[in-house]
Amino acid sequence: MKKVKFICLLAAFLTALSSVCVAKTVSSEGDVSNPDEPIAETKADMTVGADLKIKAKSAILMEPYSKTVLYEQNSNQICAPASITKIMSLLLIMEAIEQKKITTEEVITASLNASKMGGSQIWLKENESMTLDDLLKAIVIGSANDATVAVAEHIAGSEEEFVRQMNNRAKEIGMEHTVFKNSTGLDEKGHITTCFDVAVMSSELIKYPLIKKYSTVWMDSLRNGESELVNTNKLVRFYSGTTGLKTGTTSKAGCCLSASAKREDTEFIAVVMGAENSNERFSGAKKLLDFGFSNYLVKEVSCVEPSKKIITFVKNGTKKTVYGDASGSVKILLRKSEADSIVQKINFEKEICAPVKKNDLIGTVDLYIDKELVGKIEIKAKESIEKIKFGVTFLWILKGLMKL
């Protein structure tokens, strides 16, 4: 009997010791794939127009700044988004930071409601406080529902109001088939989106460099190392150029992923929704990104014509001419085979009426591939030129008469 008691006490002691010495790993949306296992290599025909055969309900590849769709598979099919929902939550957070409504050093206290979220979490306790910086780590790296709700309530006063703002923002950026019911992505009736809409909101989010401070991190920790964070996005570790962005997994949604990757000036968003398992969402996103980088690039183009050759006559101005400034540039999405085929055509007003303000648009440098217009560089007035007033005109005439 004493021996049994001793064994029980020893077991209890060892359990307690392990809980003290070992960091608790944040729940990762039920993803049971091995984080150390590389993404499976899958062969596919990478030529434009080929079927990539993505093993998922829907998929899309988008160039984020032009929002050009380069590949799609049922991209407008209605789907449950799971934690990809948090992309919109993060967009509102980034906008609040930019508008100086909140800072990353600001301390946020968790409510009882936030502490009861469940699912993927960092086990926030009611009244536990963390900086927004730490909570962003938890949301982006660990997909923590409790952290998401804590920040949502802090910014908007309640999760309900925050969700209302999410839906308003979705409409503003053209997400026509999306309805959010919560800020986390937990399955809820009527909580829906599409691959296309996810790509659109992902494109908006990556405009904020701050998000990549978190979305490119593979491992981190909270609470002085007590809570370990492992990124739910394996591409961060195993795919060159990965910049984010967000995974999602629920029983209703299946395995989902919005992945962003950038190489030199070229960046893509690959979205996979409704994959049967975690490996298929990662291999599908990898296939989409490989297709993008194999066939397309974003090229920054400047005007090749010297600005001194762009001269516009000014009618009724204090000066007779104004120089055009075409020193700007434009980024253009191109097929790699077309990268050296751009033809520039200068198109500007030969004569304009005063007054002219500096930086007024007076023309464009039109960029063509074959006969297709693919971009424009603005030509702006280099200086301001006032309109001639009656008194000045009279003096000019008088001076002319005196010379006779």
pLDDT score, position 41: 76
- Give residue 393's pLDDT band: very low, low, confident or very high (50, 70, 90): low
Whether 9 shows a pLDDT value over 60: the answer reads no
- Dump pLDDT digits (tens) for 250-287: 999 999 999 999 999 999 999 999 999 999 999 999 99
Nearest to 360 by CA among 381, 343, 341: 381
Among 75, 143, 221, 278, the one annotated catalytic:
143
Whether 4 shows a pLDDT value over 80: the answer reads no
Q: Which helix (H) or strand (E) holds 269?
A: strand 266-275
Mean pLDDT for the chain overall:
89
To the query of whether residue 86 is one of the catalytic residues in this protein, the response is yes
- Give residue 22's pLDDT band: very low, low, confident or very high (50, 70, 90): very low
HEC assignment per residue over 17-64: HHHHHCCEECCCCCCCCCCCCCCCCCCCCCCCCCCCCCCCCEEEEEEC
User: With contact defined as beta carbons under 8 Å apart, do 78 and 177 qualify?
Assistant: yes
To the query of whether residue 389 is one of the catalytic residues in this protein, the response is no
Phi, psi of 26 (to 5 degrees): -65, 135
Whether 391 shows a pLDDT value over 90: the answer reads no
To the query of whether residue 143 is one of the catalytic residues in this protein, the response is yes
Cite the DSSP H helix spans in 173-234.
Answer: 195-205, 209-215
- Dump pLDDT digits (tens) for 179-229: 999 999 999 999 999 999 999 999 999 999 999 999 999 999 999 989 999
pLDDT score, position 17: 38
Nearest to 102 by CA among 172, 156, 147: 156
Between 106 and 32, the more confident residue is 106
Among 28, 83, 89, 227, the one annotated catalytic:
83
pLDDT score, position 113: 97
Return the minimum-mean-pLDDT range out of 30-44, 173-187, 254-268, 317-331.
Answer: 30-44
pLDDT score, position 10: 39
Between 133 and 316, the more confident residue is 133
From CA 120, how far away is CA 187, in angstroms rounded? 13
% of the chain beyond a pLDDT of 70: 88
pLDDT score, position 394: 53
From CA 33, how far away is CA 67, in angstroms rounded? 32
Nearest to 164 by CA among 172, 175, 154, 156: 156
From CA 353, how far away is CA 129, in angstroms rounded? 63
- Give residue 38's pLDDT band: very low, low, confident or very high (50, 70, 90): confident
pLDDT score, position 66: 93
Predicted model pTM? 0.85
Mean local confidence (pLDDT), 33-40: 77
Return the minimum-mean-pLDDT range out of 231-240, 305-314, 355-364, 387-396.
Answer: 387-396
Among 55, 57, 75, 86, the one annotated catalytic:
86
Between 388 and 293, the more confident residue is 293
pLDDT score, position 8: 40
